Amino acid sequence: GDGLTVIDCDEDYAGELVVPSRYNGKPVTEIGKDAFIRCHELKSVTIPNSVTTLRQGAFRDCKGLSEVIIPNSVKVVEESAFRTAISLKSITIPDSVTSIGEGAFNNCINLKYVTIGAGITEISSFFNGTIIENLVIPKNVQRVVRGAFSGMASLKSIDVAAGNKWYTSVDGVLFNKSKTDLIRFPAGKGTDYGIPAGTELIGPESFKNSKILQTVSIPSSVKIIDYRSFEGSGIKEVII
């Protein structure tokens, strides 16, 4: 094609990097697979708005990377794109992005603030091993993969953007729109939780790894407690 891909970087490069939008008269359209892997001294990267794809592991193990702005031209962020970028504290995923790969930001252990753009329709395990406390599900998300939040120990609330037709949030807990299916209790939310009356399904992995949770009250409306619902949790008492 006409577009160019960034395929490698000097691992000893330090400080700020501005990726050019054109090179030899051709547009730079991709940050290639593992292009900046282990560039530990890289502090910030400016990605031009000619780029549409961040390939698998593009910034993986960039341990010093504390600032990156994803431009509104990017459509795809592939799996493990920023995995173990341990200095990253915040990230904004623009509305142009329609696909985020599995584990794209996993083990970014200082990542606390994230904004997910309106282009995303499916959420999977993007943020395991981060310290994100509050997450907002965008309005166009139609599918939250079961177990998507199982590795987010710091998560205190999951909210849902206004206008989402598939999901809702009740006191920071994620439910389906009709509030019959409890999808995910945030692992860092608290020690006691009363499941709301009207809930019929305690979904798979819905309380998984909720280490600080000790007491759960289950209403009589509940018909099904699905697989691995309370696996790895700290529950000591269940009130039925």
Strand partners, 186: none
Distance of CA 187 to the CA centre of its chain: 15
Q: Would you write out the chain's pLDDT as a tens digit for each of its 240 residues?
A: 689 999 998 888 899 999 999 999 999 999 999 999 989 999 999 999 999 999 999 999 999 999 999 999 999 999 999 999 999 999 999 999 999 999 999 999 999 999 999 999 999 999 999 999 999 999 999 999 988 999 999 999 999 999 999 999 999 999 999 999 999 999 999 999 999 999 999 999 999 999 999 999 999 999 999 999 999 999 999 998
- How far is 162 from 199, CA to CA, in rounded Å? 21
Percent of the chain with pLDDT over 70: 100
Map tokens 């696996």 to a residue: 231
Cβ–Cβ < 8 Å for 97, 119: yes
Mean pLDDT of the chain: 96
Neighbour-count burial of 161, counting CB atoms closer than 10 A to its CB (0-12 exposed, 13-18 middle, 19+ buried): middle
Joined together, the tokens standing for residue 230 give 């309370």
Tokens coding 210: 């909720």
pLDDT for the residue numbered 5: 96
Torsion sign across C-alpha atoms 102, 104, 110, 116: negative
Q: What is the DSSP letter of 195?
A: P
Per-residue model confidence as pLDDT tens digits over 76-131:
999 999 999 999 999 999 999 999 999 999 999 999 999 999 999 999 999 999 99
The rounded distance, in Å, linking the Cα atoms of 172 and 115 is 16
